[in-house]
Amino acid sequence: MTKGVLLFCFDTAQVPYHKILERCVVLIKKNLQLDITVVTNFDTYKKLKPLGFINYKFIEPELGNRKNGQEWRNVDRHMAYELSPYDVTLVMDIDYFPFTDNLRQFLDTDYDFLISKHAYDLTNRNSFDQRRWSMIDMVWATVFIFRKGKKAKRIFDMVKYVKQYYHYFNDMYRIYGKNFRNDYAFAIALEQANGFMTYDILPIQLPTLPPDCKIIKFTDNGVAWQYDDQINYTKHQDVHVLNKEVAHV
């Protein structure tokens, strides 16, 4: 049975996402030791430095939302089932940095689909309490794992359906933000595909640094960040970094 990591990476006019990808790939190879497939376009690919053996799949990304006046190309995750060459796939945001091997254990279970419902704010401000912004519990499509088969295929088919009619579901679930968001698309699809019953989730909270945290140092073992007038450091812990300026550290 084949296992691997699927990553999506597309540069925009504002953010050189390929630089974030380069850091993520190094950590995957070091700590997760899994095969890697990167979904990208040729314009992004030609900027990458040599990363060793990587499987690339080229697509033209769908133009996504605009966030704070900037391009945001992150709406192709519904294609992960078809794009993955693996039997069991770990899908990760490229700004989720695996400084440990913690995620690898979840590829060895019998679950067909696992995703996290919770993110942990490393600044202890509880910034990610999303339940108040909708009538449905949001999931974090930052990290999820699926095993190819009928159940996972049904979930992805439902994600595509939700994406097609997202404005309808957005109103139905009274989601505050109107732009398409993978996190809500997967949450809605999981609820619909599971007959409004509970579904399997990753038993972890994703350690996350909010966008107002400036990354000031990045090493093989962790990151140092600044918030207000304080500097903190986390070591040997996976971290989801929301401030895209990490590309320039």
User: Per-residue pLDDT tens for 95-110?
Assistant: 999 999 999 999 999 9
Question: Quick one: pLDDT band at residue 131, thresholds 50, 70, 90?
Answer: low
Instruction: Give the residue-averaged pLDDT of 75-98.
Output: 97
Question: Quick one: pLDDT band at residue 10, thresholds 50, 70, 90?
Answer: very high
Determine the 3-state secondary structure of 106 from DSSP.
helix
DSSP state of 201: B
Instruction: Give the residue-averaged pLDDT of 125-137.
Output: 79
pTM (predicted TM-score): 0.95
The answer to whether 210 and 121 have CB atoms below 8 angstroms apart is: yes
Using alpha carbons, select from 71, 77, 72, 40 the residue that is nearest to residue 55: 40
- The pLDDT assigned to 130 comes to 62
Residue 114 has pLDDT above 70, yes or no: yes
Question: Quick one: pLDDT band at residue 9, thresholds 50, 70, 90?
Answer: very high
- The pLDDT assigned to 79 comes to 97
Residue 64 has pLDDT above 80, yes or no: no
Phi-psi region of 157 (alpha: psi -120 to 50; beta: other; left: phi over 0): alpha
Of all residues in the chain, the percent with pLDDT exceeding 90 is: 83
Question: Between 41 and 73, whose confidence is greater?
Answer: 41
- The pLDDT assigned to 111 comes to 97
- The pLDDT assigned to 129 comes to 75
Question: Quick one: pLDDT band at residue 135, thresholds 50, 70, 90?
Answer: confident
DSSP state of 62: P
Using alpha carbons, select from 89, 76, 145, 155 the residue that is nearest to residue 116: 145
Instruction: Give the residue-averaged pLDDT of 6-10.
Output: 97
Residue 132 has pLDDT above 80, yes or no: no
Instruction: Give the residue-averaged pLDDT of 168-195.
Output: 92
Residue 133 has pLDDT above 90, yes or no: no
Average pLDDT of the chain?
A: 93
- The pLDDT assigned to 195 comes to 83
- The pLDDT assigned to 178 comes to 86
- The pLDDT assigned to 67 comes to 64
Cβ neighbour number for residue 120 with a 10 Å cutoff: 15
Query: How many angstroms separate the CA atoms of 232 and 248, rounded?
Result: 19
Instruction: Give the residue-averaged pLDDT of 176-196.
Output: 91
The answer to whether 121 and 206 have CB atoms below 8 angstroms apart is: no
Instruction: Give the residue-averaged pLDDT of 7-34.
Output: 96
Residue 140 has pLDDT above 90, yes or no: yes
